[in-house]
Amino acid sequence: MSKTIIADIRSNAFPPLSITPGTHVVWRNLDPYPHSAETETISDFFFNAGPMLPGETSAPVLFLTPGTTSYRCRYHAGMSGTVIVEESLSDHTDNPEGDRKHTAQSDHGQSHGGLNHLHGFVTGGRSGKRFFMSHTPVLADPRHNFQVILQGSLTDQKHIDAYNAIRNSDYGDRRIQIFQSHTSLPDIGSGKIKLLPAASFAYYPDLRHPDDGVDIPGLEENIPVTLDKVIHFHKFEVDAEYPDGLEYLVYGDLDDIFMDHYINRAPSFHSIAKLASRPRFWDESHTSKTVRIRVPAKKIQHLPSKLIQRLAFVDNSFHIFWLPPSGLYTPAVQDPLFPRKPKTPNNGPFEFTGGPFDFDVVTESGESEKISVGRSIHFDVRLLNHGVFLPDNA
């Protein structure tokens, strides 16, 4: 069975790659300028996986024959890499940061002991006895074409204590992710599945590399997570029209209230923010469901793909926010709800401490209300736009 390796390009360098025959390699450009990945035209094994704009992933390249292949970036002299194909290697790339690191791609099978197919849930809430889980959706994989929001809990007291210890530390209410091997999302949505039997928990303490996760002590693996409530479940409507203003799903309890961007068609993004205060329309009756709101001041406008790429490099205001504008890799929050220049200095990419920010919104009943958004918890465009390459036996 073929496998897929995601090779991240950072700081003008290709990662070392040692793979087994039958492996696809996909390069992902995490630098703020274009790269390519290609061999010389006279090479015995020729491929050209580029060019890649910032944030883009390449086409997959299949390696079948043992040996060493050298390749380069056509835009940067001296930038080269090798792919070593050997029969006896294990199913993962070299990782200089250790096996306990989780990358953004780990949501869907890049780490956690190999190329296992995983679900990722972005988790908020201050107590291990009640937290909220938002599934990380993928447009390119029909098994992940669902937006799912759950209320979950831990049952073992030592697991509850480990979760609470992170929440009560300086890390506070920032992002925690739960990973679980593949299970049917429709069965979760219908209530047929009420337990994730062997989950693992990661948090993201490195503000300079906010997608590098670390296992939470005491919650590293085989942690049972009870799914207490299905708060929201819908399958993407890929032909849906864009609404007149961005739509969000508000959910939570009376202490911790969150909002997810309502996802249908592409281009889109997965965004989770925590509200700074309880809005007027939110009360106890809403804590078992979502309230759908619209932010008229923010909207997606459909543009041809070529025009989007051109605009992405001249627009610093994230009006075109589903492709990387120039300045993406400076310390600035990507989420369209947050300005690029916060009121107070922020302390790293995707972290925001300068709020709250107030927005006029319209509820699903048509009433005008206000919300106050305090923190960006999670923002991702890749899985809903550039796709994800998975093992074909996942």
- Interval 66-97: pLDDT, tens: 999 999 998 888 899 999 999 865 433 333 33
User: Measured between alpha carbons, how far is 131 from 373 in angstroms, rounded to an integer?
Assistant: 19
Q: Return the pLDDT at 238.
A: 72
User: Measured between alpha carbons, how far is 144 from 136 in angstroms, rounded to an integer?
Assistant: 8
160-180 as b/e, with b when 16 or more CB fall inside 10 Å?
bebbeebbeeeeeebbbbbbb
| Number of independent structural domains in the chain | 2
Asked if residue 189 is part of any domain, the answer here is yes
At residue 111, does pLDDT exceed 50? no
Quickly list H helices, the chain: 157-167, 185-189, 305-312, 382-385
Asked if residue 173 is part of any domain, the answer here is yes
99, burial (CB in 10 Å: exposed 0-12, middle 13-18, buried 19+): exposed
Point out the domain boundary residue: 85, 116, 137: 85
At residue 340, does pLDDT exceed 90? no
The domain of 28 spans 3-85
pLDDT band at residue 18 under the 50/70/90 scheme: very high
Average pLDDT value for residue range 313-324: 42
Task: Indicate the pairing of strand 67-72 with strand 17-19.
Answer: unpaired
Point out the domain boundary residue: 85, 116, 148: 85
Do 60 and 134 fall within a single domain? Answer: no
Percent of the chain with pLDDT over 90: 44
Asked if residue 294 is part of any domain, the answer here is no
Distances (CA, A) of 341 to 324, 330, 372, 373, 379: 17, 11, 18, 15, 17
Asked if residue 133 is part of any domain, the answer here is yes
Q: Return the pLDDT at 373.
A: 92
Do 72 and 110 fall within a single domain? Answer: no
Asked if residue 343 is part of any domain, the answer here is no
Give 235's contacts (C-beta < 8 A, 6+ positions apart): 145, 146
pLDDT band at residue 354 under the 50/70/90 scheme: low
**E strand intervals along the chain:** 3-9, 17-19, 23-29, 61-63, 67-72, 80-85, 101-102, 118-127, 130-135, 146-153, 176-181, 195-203, 213-215, 223-235, 246-252, 257-261, 270-275, 291-295, 357-363, 368-380
Look at 14 and 113; give whichever has higher pLDDT.
14
* Ranges 87-96, 199-208, 260-269, 337-346: which has the least confidence: 87-96
